[in-house]
Amino acid sequence: MSSIIQMISSKHFQVEQLTHGVYAVIHRVGGLAVSNACIVNLGDQTLVFDTLLTPQAGIDLNLAAEALTDQPVTLVVNSHYHSDHTWGNQAFAPDADLISSEGTRKLLLSNAVDDYRWYKENLTEHYPSAAPPQTGWTSLPRGSTEIDLETSFTQGIQEALPRLRFRYPNLTFEKSLILHGSSRSVQLISYNGGHTLSDTVLWLPEERILAAGDLLYIGAHPYLVEADPRQALYVLDQIASFEPGFLIPGHGSVGTSRDLLVMQGYLSTLISKAEDFARRDQPLTAAKRIKVPAAYQSWLLSSNFASNMRRMVIQVARENGIELGTQPQDLHDHLIV
């Protein structure tokens, strides 16, 4: 099987075999996948978890899944509604079932078209050459990998827009769903508030492998603008209770349970900084002076830090009845990476 993996060539991602029939699909910097995915051979069916940012990357993902399992993809799961995990949906055959939580389907139906229009009106107008957006509140050091990653995102959006066709889940569940195949079973579990209002993880209990979607980032600042930070900590606790051996994050390399602790540390640090900021009774605009902690300065997606920090400050202020005034939305708040 390793020889087949070596034969799979995509500029958008690389494939890593975690165990027999289970593969992590990891975004390749410079490609148009931007996020990660997972391929699972259930025996009599092939399942793909998340479909990447662009139809182009989705096509390669579909071809890779068929090559690895020697059968067509019949089950596709969307972990959440963001474009970098769902715009590849159209690459899969119409008769493949598309599955999500009921909450994710509702979010797709209510946001997908608006997001498409926003990108069309803003990215193509402000970044016609797919230059990376210079966004956020702070001037952060940016290495070549960081710039390449944001360029991949803007370029991927631009290349996807002309050929994008929305495809929505036709099967939904509320809290959990078990899919039984002839050789293994997978469990889909939905959580609220950890990244968006509804996020699904894929759990393989026998293999102890968990695909976390954007509930987990590894080596990159998460996108927390829609999250409840304390709920995110709770969700990570729930995921840790499974004691997974391998974790496939929404962004970053394959990790272990230790990476859950790192993510929790990041969240706790942001909450602590937001509480300290709120106690000092400063205007919201002063939050731009909050610097990235040293432990996270090497992480990718550094411009997420400013948006995350503002989200935390606003929530802490509301919890404590502190008036911060209003602040225009940053462009980066809409860039869901």
List the CATH number of the domain containing 276.
Answer: 3.60.15.10
What pLDDT is attached to residue 135? 35
Lowest mean pLDDT, pick from 13-22, 133-142, 207-216, 270-279: 133-142
Q: Do residues 208 and 243 lie in contact, with contact meaning Cβ atoms separated by under 8 Å? A: yes
Assign 259 a pLDDT band (cuts: 50, 70, 90).
Answer: very high
Beta bridge partners of 15: 25
316 backbone dihedrals φ, ψ, rounded to 5°: -60, -40
Return mean pLDDT, the chain: 88
For the chain, give the longest Cα–Cα distance: 61
Give the pLDDT of residue 159.
Answer: 87
* Mean local confidence (pLDDT), 205-222: 98
In the numeric block, the tokens 């993809």 are attached to: 73
pLDDT exceeds 90 at position 7: no
Looking at residue 29, what is its pLDDT?
87
- The total number of structural domains in the chain stands at 1
Is the pLDDT reported for residue 278 higher than 50? yes
Range of the domain at 104: 2-334
Alpha-carbon span 220 to 143, nearest angstrom: 13
Judged against a pLDDT cut of 90, whether residue 151 lies above it is answered with no
Percent of the chain with pLDDT over 70: 88
Confidence class for position 14, pLDDT limits 50, 70, 90:
very high
Q: Is the pLDDT of residue 130 over 50?
A: no
* Percent of the chain residues topping a pLDDT of 90: 69
**CA atoms lying within 13 Å on the CB side of residue 133:** 25
